[in-house]
Structure 1
């Protein structure tokens, strides 16, 4: 897998600095000194072997009985010679194709038997400067734990690099390269040298080149491996439910004998030089659907080594948060100046930071968008932010710090791995939970408005500035040149710009609190630790208190009906009703004022209207539960319609759709939906013309209708609460909801694919690549047992298709099978297979797919593949049963389908019902040739 920085992975540069969840210094707050070096997390055992190999080992019990192992090697594409382009990434692939203790594909096979999924659990990535391998495995099996560590040892210096396996893998890597080709990559090839200042990085994209991938000698790859995979460039990170001391002894025993080459090339640290020049470039492509403008001002990287450095990071985080709020307000205008836009201060690439402004322009409005973005940052540079803006940003920061600290004993192992990985690769600080909390709490109060406002002048400068315009080919003649854009900049800087007015209102969300209801019926489900309540107004409430998190309460609600109750004329108004109302504010607050009102609160409530149901999703911390319930009640009783926000929203949708069909994948998707659903408006992508069918008043009316009667709502609440704590809020805000005893059911709209399969080929796209989608549809014998059998078929076919199409035939990079089934409005199933390949391999690979399906239909699956499915399901469930999100979805889904949620308690036992014959039977039942739909996207001119 290739990993690029956000800068290089997307045409829009999202360089927002991640919110810094306070971390700090282990002394008391009074003893903090800005010159002090940030301390290392003392909870991690860090060591170095005589050969230079570094290790980090930490005990952590979230999730229980699991351990995460990462092997990081400071070897990436930047080290490649001209004859080795792409070999760092190719080598990453080869680590899964044979090591000393796991020849050929035995590694993947062995781990799949243990319940480890290839691609999602077992994975790796290669970037410019590093290659990283990951392996999350169960830690309650001593033999598996031992083998997992052996895998890491083999990856460090035990790859076989067999010539036959190398040649087979060429096709896989070429298909990965092919899959990444398109408008973004073609444009990136042109602008990368500019934004990377013609440094070595500009010529070392990790994927490499077709010429090298196809033609390198086996020994060239082996030589690269011998040169760079050496212990003094490697680190092992192990975090999980383990005995740290025992693990350290195993690491020493296994990794001490790793050898550095006798003559080792120096590991040069490359950088991107600052030239002092300003640069400008316009890049267009026929398949680029939008015009995107980026202004990048590069600066030397501000390393975070001391308390003062950390404080500066907090200042930047506050700056970015406040700038983001300004742009969120801009976008809510009735005539917004762009589709989206913003800017921030953050990391760029090795050795550099950057201040970045960006926007996606509305068609024909590139100048307007540019002036709007630059004007806002000029306003910030001239006048700074206001004290009230800073106060809200600090409140939000403190909430995040306190929330992270409250969950410190529930923190997932993966997040610790990321911290130690960055410590090894980037030299970033690795602070303990306690230090992070104390330092954040201590420093945030010392940050002044002058500190934050000074950043604009420091980072928004006129040196080392790149301006990049990415646009559709058809707009090339109307795009501005460098002189024109510089003129726009000069005009904004000379303009009279008014200071920002931070209009803040404070008033009760509700004029009067609702009258509480009562409990009409209460039932305990002790086996599930669940309480089922029926309130006096008919609202059903499902409560499951948990200890999975210390400060997380999650809620979801549904009521039958949704958009299915409205005709096609009203469909789009109904489909967008919740978005229109949700973006308009609530009660006395417009959207901007509501955001300000909720500053510093850990709470979110979002209403929705789907095809079959309407309801809401909400999250909250304990101290903000009252606010969460107020918001829920308000969305039922005092929703708003802001016509200005609606008009701006529709304009942005229209602008984003204007060139959508220039994207081959969009045309392909539209064709599939048109064929399967006969161009039904409820299954088709919206067009620019159809946007005008959304009537704001009708949308508002539909929203009110859907939420006028709560008597048929079921609300599920899972998380860190007790029934006694929650009941006063439940009775007042859910029991007080309006109810008329309405009984509704969603309508069966009869929108289903044809009974008989067919074939369609779409010819779009400039790149010599193809996409294939195969589908089976039909009526279904819905039951828990049948669902499990279809899930097993999906998993098994996934395994077989990877083995055949990727490993045996080298025809794809990835392939996936996907099964889905529905109980309402009708028992139906779908089974899909998707992959990308080269045009010349479409027919033979499709034949291989159908051959694998027929093998299962004729002989059934191999027993070993059933065992892999069962093991994976068991291991996944062990983790899921300790997650609030899983229980929320499971309980709500079961009640929505009128099923007993207790079936999850016997799920593992039911897995024993999956047999060779049962999977064979379900394959013959549903993968019926007559129901097969074949869709292929081919390049133009084929």
Structure 2
């Protein structure tokens, strides 16, 4: 009997083990994308290649050494060495390399750049074609072995790096900086800020810089990534020629830094906010290692994505339905080196902290304890099915930069670049296994896990009192929640027009661009391009000239919040929250906008719900809701945001600049906060009537993979039936004050830096053409290049001086700003230097600059043809403002039409004798 019982136990144990193994198969590793080929030279140098038949080429040089490899005597040296790679190497003198690639159509900063982190230094080169690949590889080889550490160049670069520290490491740290400092406290990262400190850079040792370079730039620590249109045999031969002879050198043994298993600091953070920040409350959950190595890891990360969506939607719905003001609300991943966090946070008006936090805590508890409803689950199903349906379209439309950045990220975090088919299979598996129970189980595990509170405290609040309440806040969140009522309203349809309009005219344009146009009976013109690359997606922009420029002055400030007020109130039979749910369920994105000189709606849809999309457009134009309670909530949000900004040093400075430039009647004039109180329902409705019931050249642009004949009945029923009255066109003058030169010089800055601004305005311009738009873009590039060369490189006064145009489409003026951030003792030098840049531009624009900036512009515009949302917006913009759209079809041809004389004449108009000048200086606040 005993033997029989023993055998039975043995059999049961074996069965238990067998069943356990059957239910818990070993993790399945991510499969690497076979389109990437990887090779390692004998010296350990590794390169990764992926070919494409498209023109752009993207290259990255990854050195697996960063600030963690520095000694106490080398703080900031890895980053400084990265800077020196642009200041001269064996084959390229000074800034020659930047000029070379700019002439080839690449832009410094956007296309030619680098970054240094704790674990790696990465050099970036994005080229419009393969013509300069040889030079790119030669430069990368120089970086790896032959950076010229010239003492004169090093001394000049100190000012540039200190300028970067001044810009990126403020002394009065905002909440995001304080949180990061808090979470890395006690880790290997705390004392190894990649940028270093002012003291370590000012006292930099050339000997130690060379020592770091020689020790840590080794072939076995370096990888090269290239994606694009190139000949593999030629590239491999060049790589071998440039890198095979590079020898690993003996180096002092040093303990390698940890890459995983870092113990971050997750104690609560309740901290005072700086000027310009709004009160906030958030929860942070540690989600472990950042790298995704298995299919199980990937599904877990996807479930976290679903949790973000659920939490953000539930909170958004709750706050809308409660008519509580919310300035910001988001739930997102936050990545640390080799670690991923889950953050849910909100910002709100100071006086609403108690109410907002209570609703936030209650909503989190409801999701943890009771999960989601059937309606919410259907929203998730719809979104993830859409992701699967669009997988090939999204994958195929990833450009060279996207591919090479993705590969670089996987190499730096030690994660495979996944095969598309394995990704698809795992996504199908997720969709097939999704259920309310699975989502709720994940929400329960996530929201029941330990969390960190992050609380931003306004200066009006008592930080000691709030810190003492953190335990109460946790208790409120941890309490078992009351079961919520159904949160999603029943499905509602958009309005159906009572009568259809008519199509007056339609035609296919013979431009080889698959263009079809319609003219509708209400005056709307429709422009459609068939594009097979968009897959199931349809992108639309319905827009008109107008915006703030056609409103009565008493409506200016209302126009800043009208869109938000209607979004929270709803349209047709929808409330704000039910509209949001409906749009998500049907994969629709609606983005109404009111700009200074145009207004309208951007819309993204899919073919399945195209009819619903057109009905949504019709309803926006014909039946908006303005709920007084929601309007009041939006006014509170707006008041808090405006007050926070205007009371900050930069806000006060910009308000002073604004008031010396504009008359109070100008649509650009900074209004007073008290004017927000006068906003009411009637004013929102007046804005809708003025902008959405009157036609000032309304144009509808559609990009999709449809037959034009399929669109005609939808246009007739939903768009031609929108009731619009034609109104006279008008010129968009700006009410500038009459001045020749003004100066604003204030001491308000809480940072130990000075901000300098030169503003040059010509209020007597003629309407711009597409050619003018192109020239202005080229001039902006010329100015930025000259500022970089003179203010940054030659004088070392600022890290990133810049120039940009602030004028709006169709406004009869030009308005340019040149800005710099500098050491207070150097602000007068910056003023003189920027004046010198303007004088130089007026006296001498050369053909080489015209050619290089024109090439950069054309190359930057070429990708628009494969980016449907951008393409729809650009064509809508050009059509409503009467710019010639031929420039968009062939930007290179448009650039060829621009002569040196054209640019010189435009420069004289913008910056010559007719320009009005404002100079502004924001200095540090005097010590009290």
Give TM-score, length-normalised by structure 2: 0.90
Q: CA deviation at 1:450?
A: 3.4
Contact preservation (8 Å) 2:887, 2:894: no
Q: For residues 455-508 of structure 1, what are the alpha-carbon distances to aligned partners after superposition, in whole Å with 9 as ceiling and x for unaligned?
A: 344344575x54343334453456422x42112322443465333523341233
Post-superposition Cα deviations, 1:415-467, rounded to whole Å, max 9, x if no partner, equal 2223212221112232123322222012222133333333344344575x543
C-alpha change, 1:506 and 1:112, in structure 2 (3 Å) is same
Q: Deviations over 1:672-701 (max 9, x none)?
A: 111111344632445542222221233124
CA contact (8 A) 2:778 2:857 kept: no
**Counterpart position of 2:128:** 138
SS of equivalent residue, structure 1 residue 475: coil
Distance 1:805 1:750, change over 3 A: closer
SS, match of residue 763 in structure 1:
strand
Q: Provide the rounded CA distance (Å) in 2 between the counterparts of 1:870 and 1:341.
A: 41
Say if 1:906 and 1:416 are closer, same or farther in 2 by CA, change over 3 A.
closer
Tell whether the 8 Å contact from 1:354 to 1:459 is kept in structure 2 after alignment: no
Q: 1:175 to 1:597 in 2, by over 3 A?
A: same
Aligned to 1:589, the other structure's residue is in SS state: coil
Q: Give the deviation of 1:214 after TM superposition.
A: 0.3
Partner of residue 57 from structure 1, selected from 49, 59, 67? 49
What's the RMSD between the two structures over aligned residues?
A: 3.1
User: Structure 1 residues 223-232 or 650-659, which shifts more?
Assistant: 650-659
Q: Which residue of 1 aligns with 2:162?
A: 174
Does 1:262 pair with 2:250?
yes
User: Structure 1 residue aligned with 2:824, among 808, 833, 839?
Assistant: 839
Say whether the 8 Å CA contact 1:135–1:148 is kept in structure 2: yes
Determine which of 379, 389, 393 is the counterpart of 2:380.
Answer: 393
Instruction: Report 1:479-628 matches (<5 A).
Output: 479-481=465-467, 483-494=468-479, 497-499=482-484, 501-511=486-496, 514-520=499-505, 522=507, 524-526=509-511, 529-628=514-613
- In structure 2, which of residues 821, 836, 841 is the aligned counterpart of residue 851 of structure 1? 836
Query: For residues 594 and 653 of structure 1, what CA distance do their matches in structure 2 show?
Result: 22
1:769 paired with 2:769, answer no
Moved more, 492-501 or 581-590: 492-501
For residue 441 of structure 1, the aligned residue among 428, 449, 463 is: 428
Is the Cα–Cα contact under 8 Å of residues 399 and 601 in structure 1 kept in the other structure? Answer: no
The answer for the alignment partner of 2:740 in structure 1 is 756
* Structure 1 gaps, min length 5: 1-30
Measured against aligned partners, the alpha-carbon deviations of 1:1-42 in whole angstroms (never above 9, x if no partner) come to xxxxxxxxxxxxxxxxxxxxxxxxxxxxxx997732221111
Partner of 1:3: none
Cα distance between partner residues in 1 of 2:808 and 2:473: 55
Q: 3-state SS of the aligned residue for 1:185?
A: coil
Q: Quote the Cα distance in structure 1 between the aligned partners of 2:903 and 2:584.
A: 53
Aligned to 2:692: 707
Relative to structure 1, the CA distance from residue 709 to residue 45 in structure 2 (aligned partners, 3 Å threshold; closer, same or farther) is same
Please tell me whether the aligned partners of residues 334 and 343 of structure 2 are also in contact (alpha carbons under 8 angstroms). Answer: no
Superposed CA deviations along residues 787-838 of structure 1, whole A, max 9, x for unmatched, are 555444333232222111111011110112224666735x321222111111
Matches within 5 A, 1:917-936: 918-928=902-912, 931-936=916-921
Contact 1:73 1:130 (8 Å CA) reproduced: yes
Aligned with residue 200 of structure 2, among 196, 212, 217: 212
Deviates more, 1:541-550 or 1:325-334: 541-550
Alignment length, in residue pairs? 902
Q: Secondary structure at the match of 1:564?
A: helix
Q: 1:861 aligns with which of 842, 845, 855?
A: 845
| 8 Å contact kept, 1:379–1:498 | yes
Shift of 1:350: 3.5
In 2, the alpha carbon distance for the partners of 1:87 and 1:694 equals 55
Q: CA deviation at 1:563?
A: 3.4
SS at match of 2:599: strand
How many Å separate the matches in 2 of 1:912 and 1:300?
Answer: 54
Q: CA deviation at 1:246?
A: 4.0
Q: Secondary structure at the match of 2:109?
A: coil
1:88 is aligned to 2:78: yes
Segment drifting more, 193-202 vs 677-686:
677-686
Report the Cα distance in structure 1 between the residues aligned to 2:405 and 2:216, rounded to whole angstroms: 23
* Shift in alpha-carbon separation, 1:226–1:924, aligned structure 2, 3 A: same
Measured in 1, the distance between the counterparts of 2:520 and 2:238 equals 58
* 1:311, distance to aligned residue in structure 2 (A): 1.8
1:458 has 2:450 as partner: no
1:322 Cα offset (Å): 0.7
Give 3-state SS (helix, strand or coil) of 2:320's partner. Answer: coil
Secondary structure of 2:461's counterpart equals helix
2:531 touches 2:703 (CA, 8 Å); kept in 1? yes
Equivalent residue of 2:74, what SS? coil
Output the TM-score relative to the length of structure 1: 0.89
Cα deviation for residue 745 of structure 1 reads 2.2
Name the CA distance, whole Å, in 2 between partners of 1:178 and 1:209: 10
Find the partner of 1:382 among 351, 369, 386: 369
Q: 1:103 aligns with which of 93, 96, 101?
A: 93
Whether 2:883 is the aligned partner of 1:896: answer no
Give yes or no for the alignment of 1:419 onto 2:406. Answer: yes
Distance 1:737 1:786, change over 3 A: closer
Counting only pairs closer than 5 Å after superposition, residues 773-812 of structure 1 correspond to structure 2 as: 773-778=757-762, 779-781=764-766, 782-783=768-769, 788-812=774-798
Quickly say closer, same or farther: Cα 1:547–1:773, change in 2 above 3 A.
farther
Give, in angstroms, the shift of residue 574 of structure 1.
4.0
Match of 1:195 among 183, 204, 209: 183
Deviates more, 1:390-399 or 1:618-627: 618-627
CA distance in 2: counterparts of 1:647 and 1:369, whole angstroms? 15
What secondary structure does 2:469 align onto? helix
Counterpart-to-counterpart distance in 1, 2:381 and 2:79? 42
Partner of 2:303: 315
2:860 to 876, 882, 897: 876
Q: 1:486 to 1:71 in 2, by over 3 A?
A: same
Change (3 A) 1:219 1:891: same
8 Å Cα contact 2:517-2:525 kept in structure 1: yes
* Distance in 2 separating the partners of 1:179 and 1:278: 28
Measure how far apart 1:220 and its partner are: 0.9
Please say if 1:48 is aligned against 2:35.
Answer: no
Residue of structure 2 equivalent to 1:129: 119
Match of 2:721 in 1: 736
Q: Note the alpha carbon deviations across 1:98-126, whole angstroms, 9 max, x for none.
A: 12221211110111111110011111112
User: Aligned partners of 1:919, 1:354: CA distance in 2, in Å?
Assistant: 50
Contact preservation (8 Å) 1:65, 1:241: yes
2:645 corresponds to which residue?
660
Kindly indicate whether residue 624 of structure 2 is the aligned counterpart of residue 636 of structure 1: no
Provide Cα deviations, 1:60-118, integer angstroms capped at 9, x if missing partner: 34xx3111111122222233222222112112111111122212111101111111100
Q: Contact 1:806–1:814 at 8 Å: present in 2 too?
A: yes
Q: Which stretch of structure 1 is more off in the superposition, 120-129 or 865-874?
A: 865-874
Deviation per CA, 1:33-59: give whole Å up to 9, x if none: 773222111111122223222222112
Mapped to 2, the partners of 1:459 and 1:508 lie a distance apart of 35
CA distance in structure 1 between the partners assigned to 2:192 and 2:304 by the alignment: 31
| Residue of structure 1 equivalent to 2:137 | 149
CA deviations 1:207-230 (Å, max 9, x no partner) are: 211110100211111111122222
